[in-house]
Structures are given as structure tokens and as C-alpha cells.
């Protein structure tokens, strides 16, 4: 296998590791040695390839919806239910298989352009699952299931027909029955779900009233007998969870839920810019991290972001840093924690010996190391091995 010796101005990763100047001996897509140029020294018959700038492992976007990566006018911040009705529904309506495939391909391209080579993709159809699996991205496609009323049987049937390597996403506690969640946990497949995303969701689960119920009634899909007890959505899903799962959002949890999520082995995916778009404030991500909950980063779909030319958690890291977060913490969330959330080997997202899921490079000569994330607007490029 091809060996390559890189000399690099600066190497960093999400463990807080930094070496400057640095050397990296690669064999194919595996790290053989990492350290200072002196510690590795010259290698017989290998020319040194010099990289000016900062190199780090590629990023992980643990929650997005690639199949709605369509060109649209920049949306203004709005509430969740009107956004579903006015922005997402027109895109999904009558979307052909070719259009779905094109949207996933565009999403994959915009992900790579932002340094995200690994994605947890929520697929609205089997066409979207196939398009993801044909892309060059690492990660998992979770087929989204809706399971209320007459659609419950359809959701259960889809579970039996899923392609190999595909995860499953019961959409949310208000749109999927308890039975469908139980079947999803029994399926043995990786599981993701939206959870505690809005106050409307809490009202819907606890009281069966509110704007989600009204919206579901207007489109003829409301089912008052979804099977969940009239309790907080975190409790409803943790009650049926038989193994760890990935929960997107978790904005609206009670103090006691921090321990509950930890005990259930839940990975929470926080989507900071999407959260701000919908007007949610004070996400408990720091409290969750302090209590040992794995918190990863996601972008959610491009239809609630102000960056139409890329789809990357790098922008979410920079957003959080502007709000005072530590660069090392957000880099961990956008690499190692994302891998853990998706059930991937986290060592592939740090600079230790062994396989690595791609390296990216920032060339800015002024902002080096962790500064290439915190004090620069530069987008990374892939390191070709």
C-alpha cells in the first residue's frame, strides 16, 4: 500500500491534541506514525510532502436531511409548524425519484465542501437511502418512518423491508406510535428520532392539544391513540428504549431528564443554527456534557440555514464559539462525539495510529491550529492521500 510522509505546519484533533510543526506517516487511509518531524525522522525512499497550514480529521454531521437539499430563497427565521407547512411540504410534494437523488447528491457535495465526510442522514424515502449509500459519504442513512393511524401498519411493514446497513428513524413521538418505536428497537438497527424539539411537542404528548394536533387534523393524519402515555416525550421514548439511540434536539427537557438520557445511553444531537432559526434558546448541551451524556453536532436540513453553498457543522462550531464555547469542546462534538452517536469507531476521527475517515486542511497562514476554526472564515479542503 502507498506510503506518504507529510510535514505539516500544524496538526490538531478533537481530543485537544496539537503538534506544530508536525509529521504524519500514512499508509493508504491509515496513520502509521504521528509526531514532530524530528520524532519520525526521514523514511527511506519516501519524499516529504509539505503542507502549509493546519490539518485535522474530517467532521461528522450527526443529523441532517440531505433529500431536501434544494435551491430555495433564504428562509427567514420562523416557528416550526409554519415552517413544515410553508417551506418543507412544498419541496416534498410531488418530489420525483430523480429529484430526490439529485438533492441527496447535492447535499453530499455541500457536506464535503464543508469538511463533513461523515453524515447521519435522515432519509424520507428508500430512494434517498439508496442515493446516500451510493454517495462517497461515510455514515448512516436512517429511513424516516411515520406511524400514526393508518400509516402505522405501513411503518411496521417498511421496517421489515429495509436495505442492509440502513438505520431507522421513527420521526417523533407525536407522529409515531408506541408500537412503532417498540418495533424499531426490536429491529436491531441503529435508531434515531427527533425528541423534545418544541414546546408544542410536549403539549401534544402530555395533553393531546396544541398546534401539532391542529396541523395533523387539517391534513387528516391525527391519531389520538398513538399509544404513548400522557407523559413528557423523553419519558415516553426512554420507557420503550431497550438500547442506546440518537435523539436530535432535546431542547425542552426537565432537570431529571439529564440523568435519564445518560442512563439510557442516548446521544443527543444539538443543531445550534437550526435551533436559533426556530427561536429556541438555552439548549442544555453543556449540562448534558457535564453529566456524561454524549452530545454531537448536526446541521439539520439546509432549509433552515443561512449557508446555501455548504452544509457543515463547522459553521455550527463557529456559531457556538462566538457565543463563548470552547473551541476544543466543539471540535470534539463535531468529530469524535458525532462518530460515537452514529455507532462508528471514534478512533477514526482522531490522530492516533490506525484508520482515519479522511483528513482536511486549512491553508490560512495567519490563523493556525485551533484558530483555523475559531478565528477564520475559511472552508477546508480535503487532503489527498
- Contact residues toward Zn ion (CB under 5 A) are 300
Q: Please measure the distance between the N-terminal and C-terminal CA atoms of the chain and give it in whole angstroms.
A: 11
Nearer of residues 35 and 75 to Zn ion, judged by Cβ = 75
Under DSSP, is residue 35 helix (H, G, I), strand (E, B) or coil?
Answer: strand
Nearer of residues 201 and 300 to Zn ion, judged by Cβ = 300
Nearer of residues 300 and 316 to Zn ion, judged by Cβ = 300
Q: Please tell me the distance from the alpha carbon of residue 52 to that of residue 36, in angstroms, as a whole number.
A: 15
Classify residue 276 as exposed, middle or buried by CB count within 10 Å of its CB (0-12, 13-18, 19+). Answer: middle
Nearer of residues 5 and 248 to Zn ion, judged by Cβ = 248
Q: How far is the CB of 166 from Zn ion (least distance, A)?
A: 17
Using Cβ positions, the residue closest to Zn ion within the complex turns out to be 300
Nearer of residues 300 and 315 to Zn ion, judged by Cβ = 300
Q: How far is the CB of 162 from Zn ion (least distance, A)?
A: 19
Q: How far is the CB of 208 from Zn ion (least distance, A)?
A: 23
Helices (H), the chain: 37-40, 80-83, 89-92, 97-113, 126-134, 151-160, 178-186, 199-207, 211-218, 233-240, 255-263, 272-277, 285-290, 313-322, 327-333, 336-341, 371-374
Q: How far is the CB of 280 from Zn ion (least distance, A)?
A: 13
Residue recorded with cell 442544555: 284
Closest CA to 248 of 62, 82, 94, 77: 62
Nearer of residues 200 and 300 to Zn ion, judged by Cβ = 300
Q: How far is the CB of 194 from Zn ion (least distance, A)?
A: 6
Largest CA distance in the chain: 72
Nearer of residues 278 and 362 to Zn ion, judged by Cβ = 278
Q: How far is the CB of 322 from Zn ion (least distance, A)?
A: 23
For 18, the grid coordinates are: 496539537
Q: What are the Cα distances from residue 34, in Å, to 27, 117, 126, 323, 336? A: 12, 22, 41, 33, 18
C-alpha dihedral sign at 206, 208, 211, 217: positive
Rounded to the nearest angstrom, the gap between the alpha carbon of residue 65 and the centroid of all alpha carbons in its chain is 9
40 bridge partner residues: none
Nearer of residues 117 and 278 to Zn ion, judged by Cβ = 278
Q: How far is the CB of 45 from Zn ion (least distance, A)?
A: 50
Q: How far is the CB of 201 from Zn ion (least distance, A)?
A: 13
Amino acid at each position: 500500500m502507498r506510503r506518504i510522509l507529510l510535514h505539516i505546519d500544524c496538526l490538531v484533533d478533537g481530543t485537544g491534541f496539537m503538534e506544530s510543526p508536525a509529521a504524519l506517516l500514512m499508509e493508504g487511509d491509515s496513520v502509521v506514525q504521528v509526531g514532530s518531524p524530528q520524532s519520525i525522522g526521514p523514511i527511506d525512499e519516501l519524499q516529504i510532502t509539505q503542507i502549509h497550514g493546519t490539518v485535522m480529521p474530517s467532521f461528522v454531521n450527526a443529523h441532517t436531511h440531505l433529500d431536501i437539499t434544494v435551491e430555495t430563497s433564504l428562509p427567514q427565521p420562523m416557528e416550526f409548524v409554519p415552517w413544515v407547512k410553508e417551506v418543507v411540504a412544498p419541496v416534498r410534494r410531488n418530489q420525483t425519484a430523480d429529484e430526490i437523488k439529485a438533492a441527496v447528491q447535492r447535499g453530499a457535495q455541500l457536506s464535503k465542501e464543508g469538511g463533513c465526510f461523515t453524515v447521519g442522514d435522515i432519509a424520507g424515502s428508500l430512494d434517498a437511502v439508496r442515493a446516500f449509500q451510493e454517495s462517497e459519504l461515510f455514515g448512516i442513512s436512517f429511513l424516516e418512518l411515520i406511524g400514526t393511524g393508518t400509516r402505522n401498519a405501513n411503518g411496521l411493514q417498511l421496517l421489515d423491508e429495509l436495505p442492509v446497513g440502513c438505520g431507522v428513524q421513527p420521526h417523533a413521538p407525536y407522529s409515531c406510535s408506541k408500537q412503532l418505536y417498540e418495533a424499531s428497537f426490536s429491529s436491531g438497527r441503529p435508531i434515531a428520532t427527533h425528541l423534545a424539539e418544541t414546546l408544542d411537542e410536549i403539549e401534544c404528548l402530555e395533553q393531546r392539544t396544541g398546534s401539532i394536533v391542529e396541523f395533523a387534523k387539517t391534513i387528516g393524519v391525527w391519531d389520538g391513540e398513538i399509544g404513548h402515555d400522557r407523559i413528557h416525550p423523553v419519558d415516553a421514548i426512554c420507557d420503550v428504549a431497550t438500547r442506546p439511540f440518537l435523539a436530535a434536539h432535546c431542547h425542552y427537557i426537565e432537570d431529571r431528564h439529564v440523568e435519564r438520557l445518560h442512563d439510557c445511553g442516548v446521544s443527543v444531537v444539538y443543531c445550534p443554527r437550526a435551533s436559533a432559526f426556530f427561536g429556541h434558546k438555552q439548549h442544555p448541551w453543556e449540562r448534558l456534557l457535564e453529566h456524561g451524556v454524549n452530545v454531537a453536532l448536526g446541521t439539520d436540513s439546509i432549509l433552515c440555514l443561512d449557508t446555501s453553498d455548504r452544509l457543515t457543522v463547522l459553521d455550527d462550531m463557529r456559531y457556538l464559539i462566538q457565543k463563548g464555547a470552547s473551541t476544543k469542546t466543539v471540535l470534539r462534538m463535531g468529530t469524535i462525539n458525532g462518530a460515537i452517536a452514529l455507532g462508528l469507531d471514534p478512533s477514526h476521527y482522531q490522530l492516533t495510529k490506525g484508520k482515519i475517515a479522511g483528513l482536511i486542511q486549512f491553508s490560512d497562514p495567519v490563523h493556525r491550529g485551533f484558530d483555523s476554526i475559531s478565528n477564520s472564515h475559511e472552508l477546508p479542503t480535503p487532503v489527498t492521500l
